[in-house]
Amino acid sequence: MKVWVKRIALGILALALIYAVGRFIDVYLGSFYSGERAPYLMMPAPHAMTLRWQTLEPGRGRVRFGRTAGKLDQQLTETSVAEEHELRLQKLEPATRYYYQIENQPAGKPEKIIYSGKDYWFVTPPRSGQAAPVRFAVLGDPGKAGVVQTEVRDALLDWLKKNPRPRRLQPDLDLLLTTGDNAYRSGSNKQFQQGFFSPYERILKNVPVWPVYGNHDARRWAFFDIFSFPTQAESGGLASNAEHYYSFDYANVHFIMLDTQAGSMKVGSDMLDWLKRDLAATRQDWIVAAFHHPPYSHGSHNSDEHRDSGGRMTRVRENVLPMLEAAGADLVLSGHSHMYERSYLLRCHYADSDNLQENMLLDKTSGRETPYKKPGRDAYSGTVYTVIGSSAKTNDGSLDHPAMAVSLAEAGSVLVDIDNQIMTVRFITQQGRVVDQFSIQKTAGRGQAIPCS
């Protein structure tokens, strides 16, 4: 080989090495954040709640808690000094409001109260299986700080204030779900602070959050350090033994959170094997599933394009949807496309939009005036698919997927109410208008489970 060819090859190799080292350092550094992070709640269970927060100064964290703001008669203290803090309060009573105060004790210094007052509280979930009213909000692709994000958040909070639930104990919201891409642009720890924790601070201190993993979260290593996930069914469901995917129960609802970004969606993969067992095990009245990549979207991503997003939308449609529908899943939430799209009550549509057949649409109304009706949790009795990816920005798209009853290039959030046998879903825009609303009602008795032909 000629000398100049060798030199060029070595030069290219050196450049590739420099790029790889630079990228590694960038990714590594991106998983750290030094500074304060206000308290946030995770893994709620009828008898337990996880509290997390971060301090600039390392210290030993302590949570004092009790049923009245003026009488915090229980406490739990960390065993080591750290900046990132996590304590799981145990032996709590179900459906009970607890107030809390957080203290930090740096080594060799006096203890300091850092979060305190009547605004710091949470409410534990009711017993699993109990048909208590549930209200949860869904933010999709929320982690981009700016005017859209702030206005969507405020419109949701405003709507909740104007439409409170009747019982005084109930908080405005029981849970906050996300559909992934929780921090733009790369899911670094610092970006999580700017794009997620700071803007949603006043929600997160009272309302437990359940996030899913999106492609932007996957660019750094922070996501799994920041959040706590129930690998051992700490909040109900079936233990997944994985942080990437899990399930949990809240009242009479079973929630399933999947990783469509890094998780294999091949038939027989760990995630789908667990999903099959989890679905077979649950006896809950309702099933809600959330994951990042939408099975149907003609938005800023096109689910008919098999190369779009590495084929994840195709794989989720072909391999995950048949399992969910066979178990009678009611509502599927995804994001990724930065718009709002919402399907009819649907079954057995696992191919491209061209192949949508009339008999796959179980109800061709919008579900607003008359609720969609489903017999119990029968297999293939219909599922509504919602793309909510516009809680922080909107993009263009053809918005003409024939499975969709509603397609809007509008920013907003989704609010779900489940009260015993009826579910109501609303899309609340950046301006605070409810521009889509539908209900699903479970009917008594069993219908006929008709497999897909």
Smallest gap, in angstroms, from Cβ of residue 153 to Fe ion?
19
Smallest gap, in angstroms, from Cβ of residue 413 to Fe ion?
17
- Between residues 55 and 215, which has the closer beta carbon with respect to Fe ion? 215
Smallest gap, in angstroms, from Cβ of residue 350 to Fe ion?
22
Read off the tokens for 119.
């605004």
Phi and psi for 298 in degrees, rounded to 5? -120, 60
- Between residues 124 and 215, which has the closer beta carbon with respect to Fe ion? 215
Q: Where is 312: in which H helix or E strand? A: helix 312-315
Residue 7 has a CB neighbour count (10 Å cut-off) of: 10
Q: Where is 229: in which H helix or E strand? A: none
Contacts of 99 (CB under 8 A, 6+ apart): 65, 66, 67, 68, 69, 72, 118, 120, 121
Q: Can you spell out the DSSP letters for 25-39?
A: HHHHHHT---S-EEE
Which of 193, 181, 212 minimizes the C-alpha distance to 54? 193
- Between residues 390 and 430, which has the closer beta carbon with respect to Fe ion? 390
- Between residues 123 and 333, which has the closer beta carbon with respect to Fe ion? 333
- Between residues 336 and 377, which has the closer beta carbon with respect to Fe ion? 336
Query: Shortest Cβ contact with Fe ion: which residue?
Result: 336
CB 148 within 8 A of CB 394: yes
- Between residues 204 and 392, which has the closer beta carbon with respect to Fe ion? 392
Phi and psi for 225 in degrees, rounded to 5? -80, -35
Binding site for Fe ion (CB under 5 A): 181, 214-215, 336
Smallest gap, in angstroms, from Cβ of residue 60 to Fe ion?
38
Smallest gap, in angstroms, from Cβ of residue 62 to Fe ion?
38
Smallest gap, in angstroms, from Cβ of residue 224 to Fe ion?
17
- Between residues 181 and 285, which has the closer beta carbon with respect to Fe ion? 181
Q: Where are the beta strands (DSSP E) in 124-196?
A: 134-139, 175-178
Read off the tokens for 306.
């098999």
Smallest gap, in angstroms, from Cβ of residue 214 to Fe ion?
5
Read off the tokens for 95.
């459906």
Distances in Å between the Cα of 340 and the Cα atoms of 87, 256, 299, 377, 409 are 37, 21, 8, 26, 6
